[in-house]
Amino acid sequence: MSADSRLLPSYADLSIASPAERRSFNALVDALRDAQEAVTRSRPSESAARRAAALLSEAAELLGEGVPDSEQLAGRLWDEPGRAQALAPPLYIDDVDGTSARGRVTFSRFHAGVRTVHGGALPLVFDEIMGRLATTSGKPFARTAHLTIDYRAGVPVDTEVEVFARVKRVEGRKLFLSSELCLDGTVLTECQGLWVQIREDPR
């Protein structure tokens, strides 16, 4: 096994934390999301801003310098919405099999550009759902090689939207996927993606 492949994510990572540890870590990530959103929505007084900054700094200090990334929980709790990381909005994947996936997501003002969702935030969700589809059902681990996004209409914040993804075709190690984000049956954003499965003999 190469040094690189030891660091590849695996669904076996689900065993890295006890149920109690998973619950407490998820609560921490939820609180972080709440803090991101609260800061975005706020217009605090000078003293409230200073006090909130001090509390956030105290929390960061409490958590310390952290563990090596091979031991961290953030982003590795695959079956939790958002995988227990605050980069992307929490995506609820309701169905995923070898060929398609379906989920739901609600963007908030933290991910907003001007009134609608930021154009750079939408690929986060496509990468999540297509990444999950590309690697599920026993498929080898694959990395995102190419994404093309078409922004058809603005995506509203504070509104649950549906996300669909499917495998269009497979050519050797290459998986061609497509995905769309819909509201009330209307496609707001669509994405074409290429995932490439990692070589067994990385050069």
Ligand X SMILES: CCCCCCCCCCCC(=O)SCCNC(=O)CCNC(=O)[C@H](O)C(C)(C)COP(=O)(O)OP(=O)(O)OC[C@H]1O[C@@H](n2cnc3c(N)ncnc32)[C@H](O)[C@@H]1OP(=O)(O)O
Q: What are phi and psi of 8, to 5 degrees?
A: -70, 145
CB atoms within 10 A of CB 85: 18
DSSP helix/strand/coil, 52:
helix
Q: What residues contact 58, with CB distance under 8 A and at least 6 apart? A: none
Q: In DSSP terms, which residues pair with 167 in a beta bridge?
A: 177
Say which DSSP state 43 is in: -
Question: Which residues between 153 and 182 bind ligand X (CB under 6 A)?
Answer: 172-174
* Binding status of residue 199 toward ligand X by CB under 6 A: yes
Least distance between ligand X and beta carbon 49 (Å): 34
144 contacts ligand X (rule: CB under 6 A): yes
**Is 40 or 97 the residue whose CB approaches ligand X more closely?**
97
Please pick, from the candidates 82, 89, 131, 193, the single residue that binds ligand X as defined by CB under 6 A: 131
Instruction: Map residues 2-31 to x or -, x wherever contact with ligand X holds by CB under 6 A.
Output: -------xxx--------------------
Per DSSP, helices labelled H in the chain are 3-6, 19-41, 46-63, 122-135
**What is the pattern of x (binds ligand X, CB under 6 A) and - over residues 29-58?**
------------------------------
Asked if residue 189 lies in contact with residue 122, where contact means CB atoms within 8 angstroms, the answer is yes
128 binds ligand X (CB under 6 A): yes
Q: Nearer to ligand X by C-beta: 109 or 118? A: 118
Nearer to ligand X, 115 or 169 (CB): 169
